[in-house]
Structure 1
Amino acid sequence: MARKPLAESVFDDLLERVIDGTYAPGSALPPEHDLAASSDVSRLTVREALKRLQAQNIVQIRRGLGTYVNPAAQWTDLQAILRYASTTADSPDVALRLLEIRRMVETGAAELAALHATDEDLARMEEANIALRAAHEVGDLDAVTASDIAFHDAIFRASANPFLPVILGPLSQLLYTMRRATSSFPQVQEHAIEHHQVVLEAIRTRNPEIARKAMQAHINQTYDDYEHFIHQQQRHQEIT
């Protein structure tokens, strides 16, 4: 296997230290000569790595003052963001931010599905709902998660817009982890079963506005449920 260029190795190492909190947001990185010595590379190599970090807005270089770490919310590189998010995939904040993305994308998908869904698309949604109810009854969390994803994937397919899966594709692993976390609460599962059927019936009306509102209500309910149970868990931890 070919070795990474030195600047790329230094970049990866510095990014990992930012992600693991060694260099926290707002803190300064060590001077170039210290980074070069600790990595056993030239200052020129370190400078290359820092320029790449700066290009992705992971750090800002303040001339004469040093290099400072930016909060992850300011980063502009998707791979770096995914790398950061994957280490905090079970964080309530990450789950809620992903739900916000789902709300923005999936309400539009439901609108389009109301216009374009075929009988086969509607059958796929119904099958996913039947599978979700069956998985809920036996308490199979993995099957619940898979059925939930299958329902929403069927809506994406029914939208007849090939770009929708591409938008969420890079987030698929994080979304699965989040879906499994939110579905771990029985009440969330029960609400999902109810809302999925409402969404399906709304798409059957062929009215985009009705479908959008039904999907928005579903995602909002999931958001509220998850936030409620997370707060319950936090209070329980404080008490114990």
Structure 2
Amino acid sequence: MKSTQLLRPAQHTEYQLLTSILNGTHPPGSALPNERSLAMHLGITRPTLREALQRMAREGWITIQHGKATMVNDYALDGGMGMLTTLSAHPEFLPAAYILHFLEVRLVLLPEVAGMAAEKAPETLLRHLSRHEQLNDDKESFAEFDWQLQLLMATHSGNPIFRLIVNDFSQLFKTMAPAYFAMDDARRASTGYYQALSRFITGNDREKVVAIVRSAMRDAMVRWKQMK
């Protein structure tokens, strides 16, 4: 999340309200105070509050009903993929299990996405993978390189929905990746993964591409659990 000093009034209000939901001040199933009281409490105008509430309603955080109290939704049950970006912008409230849930989703999706991309755009993937030898041995370089690889796989899979899904994981990945790649063995394992992936793409072996990506994703899950 951007510094709150840089946000427009409605965005800043939305940030405050989301924080109050995520920290339990206004838990799922509870009613927000009426508009007048809430605006006074936050020190804002009612039009600014309405704009923030409408934005939150569109994303699924709350339900606004004319003549009734505005209710806080259970975002884990009623929310959509777009909420991942918002949740990732509040890492202090992000449940620890969410990282593992993300890794589980990636384990299911990315191997097949990689196989599709390797068939449709092998040169593009190989061009990116060839740069791994010039990577600085630091967490930032590996995190950025790995994220760009996943984006390329999704983009060139032939299915635009995969790219939309991966985009929604962007903030979450950027939250966790530096901690993961701070480990020396994680960077070494990733280097071996990039080398093997390059060989299998060059050999036009889709099954081995899928298998090596699945193995790398599974190893990452194990390593993350050991970190915690």
Fold match (TM-score > 0.5): yes
Distance in structure 2 (CA, Å) of the matches to 1:120 and 1:78:
28
Identify if the C-alpha distance between structure 1 residues 123 and 24 changes in structure 2 by more than 3 Å, giving closer, same or farther: same
* Pairing 1:105-124 to 2, within 5 Å after superposition: 105-119=109-123, 121-124=125-128
CA distance in 2, matches of 1:55, 1:17: 18
Contact 1:196/1:218 (<8 A) preserved: no
1:195 aligned residue (179, 193, 208):
193
Q: Letter of the aligned partner of 1:165 in structure 2?
A: R
Describe how 1:55-204 pairs up with structure 2 within 5 A. 56-59=59-62, 68-76=71-79, 79-88=82-91, 92-119=96-123, 121-128=125-132, 130-132=133-135, 135-136=136-137, 140-156=138-154, 158-159=156-157, 161=159, 164-204=162-202
* In structure 2, distance between residues paired with 1:149 and 1:9: 29
Could you say what secondary structure the match of 2:180 adopts? helix
Q: Deviations over 1:146-187 (max 9, x none)?
A: 232344344445545555434323432332232222212222
Amino acid of the residue matched to residue 125 of structure 2?
Answer: D
Letter of the 1:101 partner, please give it. V
TM-score between the two structures when normalised by the length of structure 1: 0.67
CA contact (8 A) 1:113 1:159 kept: yes
Shift of 1:87: 0.9
Q: 1:85-142: CA deviations, max 9, x gaps?
A: 21117764333233233333321221113322344532431322x234xx33xxx222
Paired residues of 1:23 and 1:29 also in contact (CA < 8 A): yes
- Offset at 1:199? 2.7
CA distance in 2, matches of 1:85, 1:118: 32
- In the alignment, what sits opposite 1:19? 22
Task: Provide the rounded CA distance (Å) in 2 between the counterparts of 1:45 and 1:213.
Answer: 51
Give CA deviations for 1:30-80 in whole Å, capped at 9, x if unaligned.
3566436546767x9978976775564424689xx9655333313435555
The secondary structure found in structure 2 opposite 1:23 is coil
Percent identity over paired residues = 23
Q: Would the aligned equivalents of 2:84 and 2:172 in 1 still touch at CA under 8 Å?
A: no
For the residues of structure 2 that align with 1:50 and 1:123, how far apart are their CA atoms?
A: 46
Q: Please state how far the C-alpha of 1:192 moved relative to its aligned partner.
A: 1.8
TM-score scaled by structure 2?
0.70
- Unaligned runs of 5+ residues in structure 1 are 231-240
